[in-house]
A = this chain, B = another copy of it.
Amino acid sequence: MDKKTKQKRVELFERQCRSQGVPFTVQRRAILETVLEFDNHPTAEQVHDAVTTRFPGISRTTVYRTLETLVQMGLITKACHPGSVVRYDRRIEVHHHLVCQRCEEVVDISDERLDALPVPDTSSLGFEVFDFRVQLRGICRRCRKKE
């Protein structure tokens, strides 16, 4: 992610804070900037480790809380890994995932044909859909070699 995109995301965050009456703190800014550095799907713990170099002494609790706040505000997303640890993703645009059923690794992919997915009408369920992800399940190269 280039500098400009990152800066824009931070500015968007600041604007949303102002308009929603949410304090725009240095910690929150540092955490968002740190997540934007990851091109994969870091855990809260990994974000905490990374943000510590930028903001020494920042509390683990704050990182956990802020990540959830950022998700709620739509600035980052939660990645859907099968494992038992929550992972975050700076990517908010539509993209998709390859998930290995053996080692549970998740890799991002982009594919125009997947993006063109016909989103079904879910209004009867009361569900308003505004985004989607395709999860391709299979076995990765490494695990196939093992078997």
Contacts and interface: CB of A to CB of B under 8 A. Distances in A.
Interface string A93-111: 0000011111000010101
How many identical chains are in the complex?
Answer: 2
B134 A138 contact: no
A137 B131 contact: yes
Given A113-B118, A117-B114, A120-B109, A80 B135 contact: yes
Interface string A75-107: 000101111111000000000001111100001
Give me the 9 closest cross-chain CB pairs, A-B, nearest first.
A126-B141, A129-B138, A131-B137, A80-B80, A78-B82, A111-B120, A133-B135, A129-B136, A84-B86
Interface of A: 71-72, 78, 80-86, 98-102, 107, 109, 111, 113-114, 117-120, 122, 125-142, 144
23 contacts: A72-B102, A80-B80, A82-B86, A84-B84, A98-B129, A113-B118, A114-B118, A117-B117, A117-B134, A120-B136, A122-B136, A126-B144, A127-B136, A127-B140, A128-B138, A128-B144, A129-B137, A130-B138, A131-B137, A132-B135, A133-B135, A134-B134, A135-B135
